[in-house]
Amino acid sequence: MKRRGFLTSTIGLSLLAYTNCFAQTIMEPYPPVSGSFSGINVPQSPDPMVSYRWANPQHIDNLEIYTVNPVSVQVDKAENVVINSSSIHVTGECSLMFDFGQINAAWLEFDSENLAGEIEASISEYNEVSYKTARPVRYGRTWRLELNKESSGFYEGVRFAWVHIRKLTQPADISFVRLVCQIRPSNYDGSFSCSDTMLTRIWYTGAYEVRMNLLKDYFGAILMNRGDRISWTGDAHVSQAVSMVAFGNYDFVKTNLRFTATQSNGIASYSLYWVLSLVDYCNYTGDKAILDEMLTNACAKLDKAYNHYGKNPGLSFYGWDERLGAGFAEPNCAEAQNAYKMLSIRAWNEFSSTMAQTGNTQLAAKYKQYADEKIAELRKDASWTSPLGVHAAADAVSAGFMNRQEQESVWSTAFSDRLQRVSYSPFNQYFIIRSLAQMQRHNEALSTIDDCWSGQIRYGGTTFFEVFRPSWNRVSKPNDAPINNQCGVTSLTHPWSAGVTKWLSEEVLGIKPIEAGFATFLVKPHLSSAITWVKGSVPTLHGIIAASFNILSGDMEVTVPSGTWATVAIPKAGRSIESVKFKGQKKFKKSEDEDYIYYSGLPGGDYQIQITYAGKLPKTPKEPFIYAGGTTVKEDLSTQGNWKGKYGSKGYILYNYDSINSQRSRLPDFIEVSFATPGPYYYYVPAHWVSGTTDSRALISDQDGDTCRSLGNVHCNLTMGLDIQYKKQQTYKVSLYFADWDKKEYRSAIEIFDLKTLNLLMPVYMVRDYAEGKYIIFEFDRSVRIRINQVRGSATLCGMFFD
């Protein structure tokens, strides 16, 4: 088939390269993998090594390597290429594009003995060449793309790779094109599957991206090398949690807790996430020794948060969402400060509970007093929940102190709008779905999971992204270049986004510790007509807990490791239960509420349970997904620079029209336009392209009788925001003029926010094909923030017109 002018050939994925078949002319940094394909293959997993197992993986292991071959190759100049079963014969200039099927932590290699000329290679997480291009280094017959120093690891996030033949001095043959992938030995001792195969894919996608980021000494936070490939403490809170439920590599989690103990990354909330990681690890392992070792450190972090409380400290960062200050741009905004307060209360409460379980009554009392004091202060104002947006409300719910009335209040104000409870950062989204579960709103959480994580898979993701909006799927094809933004160059492999994997294990499969180390634990699945069966396992230090539930057949099984005790909750799922039979075993202590029948005190063993249901399974209601600003946007390709008489009847700005920093504008007193605060990694640049031209793409002068044309712009390497204060209560039109003056196939994406709430108002709009000039026309009924994001080229704006 042909795609974008490419000749495409589909080739098989060979896993023979997992054995020691590396070319002998090159030294690799790590040895080949030392285990075997002896585990269970999971078709829903993107991990090519999902069934690979090591005999005894440990925290002291080094990295190992395996290779993956491409699943297809595309050629831009088919007349110069012949694709054979084992090689590619090249006779002239061309670019070969290889798709390896999933993102890998890898580097590109290929073999050729007779390749000579000007050769470059590129890699990318998406299907367009990014900025990762260099001349490959030759070692005998093998060529390797070395983008990073060996000390920092050759690896990048790679799904697509290119070999560019810029100039060829003789016909050549290229063979054994492969990615050399690095991996830290770790086995899938946890598992998950359910009737919704997309949720199964989500669980394994989150696990895979965490696995790829397990480095020799610590948990990595990103595959793409953009200068921040470290173990970010807050990111590690999520990836460590996922690693425990998926791999049970508790010793390596402990290693990373030690590694990050003094690394807050200058971010106030990340210090608290480290404490919560310590609590999480101790809940899953019962490891009191590490708790004692880290006690002084943890207390210092919690005490610092107490001293911060109510003083609006410098937070540095709370999330990429516009409502959280757009990352590093305005991180001390009210919503981020409120969220930090709620996170502090959560950390004090959970640490106090852990102290109580381990017998440290003094510290338990101290941190409970911290939490109780601040909760009492909050409740002096009966409307204390009103200012909380979805992020702060999620942290408040997760703090565990809200009563039902308070929960209903924040549900109404912060969570009930399906669109607005989607965060730009899947990292923050994890805490939102966690809070929804605490409010017993699992169905709504599943809707949000579909919007966020299923949306990324529909985009083509085989890992989860640093940021994502559901509407990206309206404007981009699968695996297209993502929208860059305040986070910088968007990472498509960001393990901080994998928290949904832990959520599915704890909330859908329903396995959670009651006492530290799973000495006692709860199995409480959440099933409905949307999910009628679930099966999975969680690795613990006592052994693997396994469970399966089917509310259609009534068949349920639970495996309780020796030395532990289980409470099993039988879901009613909106029906009544006529009978519960434990096959061949005695009955256990029973209790009941509106939604479950509970059997407690189940000792180690395997249990088969048969449930007889009565009544019809209720249908799960579907929530609407509504954009308050509508979805209508108009384009005008015909007007070009001839704007007078058509646009700008109420005002206009012609950016840098006469020269740099010399723009023409006419705005009435009821319209104010200003630039939103930029972040530290992007900035607004004035530019002037041309003066006195006859090119119809340039904007005609605003002066009567002047037929001259000029064109300037304001641009940004990543993103820029423009705030429009419109002081009349009426609808108005804003027309943005874009021109790709040098015809470099620029693409930009536009986001529209309510300026007061910073809620997203419309789907993302993609601006393409504006080499000849294009107007994008919006209609608003309020003040707005317009954010223009770079996709290809620069985020560039030439003019703004009001009508």
pLDDT band, residue 231 (cuts 50/70/90):
confident
Compute the average pLDDT of residues 541-569: 98
Question: What six digits make up the tokens of 425?
Answer: 């950062």
Q: Is the pLDDT reported for residue 14 higher than 50?
A: no
Sort 179 into a burial class: Cβ within 10 Å, 0-12 / 13-18 / 19+. Answer: buried
- Give CA–CA dist 411/508, Å, rounded: 21
- Give CA–CA dist 278/262, Å, rounded: 13
Q: Are 155 and 107 in contact (CB under 8 A)?
A: yes
Q: Is the pLDDT reported for residue 587 higher than 90?
A: no
Sort 41 into a burial class: Cβ within 10 Å, 0-12 / 13-18 / 19+. Answer: exposed
Compute the average pLDDT of residues 615-635: 95
Structure confidence at residue 679 (pLDDT): 82
Question: What six digits make up the tokens of 146?
Answer: 């070395």
Compute the average pLDDT of residues 187-205: 99
Q: Encode pLDDT of 638-663 as tens digits.
A: 999 999 999 999 999 999 999 999 99
Give the CA distances from residue 571 to residues 518, 566, 732, in Å, rounded to whole numbers and listed in that order.
Answer: 21, 16, 53
Mean of per-residue pLDDT scores for the chain: 95
Q: Is the pLDDT reported for residue 351 higher than 90?
A: yes
Compute the average pLDDT of residues 333-361: 98
Structure confidence at residue 617 (pLDDT): 96
Q: Encode pLDDT of 247-292 as tens digits.
A: 999 999 999 999 999 988 899 999 999 999 999 999 999 999 999 9
CA 696 to chain centre: 43
Q: Encode pLDDT of 77-121 as tens digits.
A: 999 999 998 899 999 999 999 999 999 999 999 999 999 999 999
Give the CA distances from residue 33 to residues 20, 38, 45, 540, in Å, rounded to whole numbers and listed in that order.
Answer: 8, 13, 20, 25
Structure confidence at residue 153 (pLDDT): 84
- Give CA–CA dist 472/766, Å, rounded: 9
Structure confidence at residue 586 (pLDDT): 67
- Give CA–CA dist 579/116, Å, rounded: 76
Share of the chain above pLDDT 70, in %: 96
Q: Encode pLDDT of 424-443 as tens digits.
A: 999 999 999 999 999 999 99
What is the topology classification, in CATH, of domain 2-183?
Answer: Jelly Rolls (2.60.120)
Share of the chain above pLDDT 90, in %: 92
CB atoms within 10 A of CB 390: 27
Helix axes 233-246, 197-212, angle to 10 degrees: 120
2-183 matches 634-802 in fold: yes
CB atoms within 10 A of CB 668: 11
Structure confidence at residue 278 (pLDDT): 98
Q: Where are the domains of the chain?
A: 2-183, 266-378, 516-614, 634-802
Structure confidence at residue 131 (pLDDT): 86
Q: Is the pLDDT reported for residue 533 higher than 60?
A: yes
CB atoms within 10 A of CB 310: 12
What is the topology classification, in CATH, of domain 516-614?
Answer: Maltose phosphorylase, domain 3 (2.60.420)
Q: Are 212 and 239 in contact (CB under 8 A)?
A: no
Contacts of 342 (CB under 8 A, 6+ apart): 388, 392, 395, 396, 398, 399
Structure confidence at residue 8 (pLDDT): 54
What number does CATH give the domain 634-802?
A: 2.60.120
Structure confidence at residue 527 (pLDDT): 98
pTM: 0.96
If one compares 148 and 412, the residue with the highest pLDDT of the two is: 412
Contacts of 729 (CB under 8 A, 6+ apart): none
Q: Is the pLDDT reported for residue 17 higher than 60?
A: no
pLDDT band, residue 192 (cuts 50/70/90):
very high
Q: Encode pLDDT of 588-619 as tens digits.
A: 789 999 999 999 999 999 999 999 999 999 99
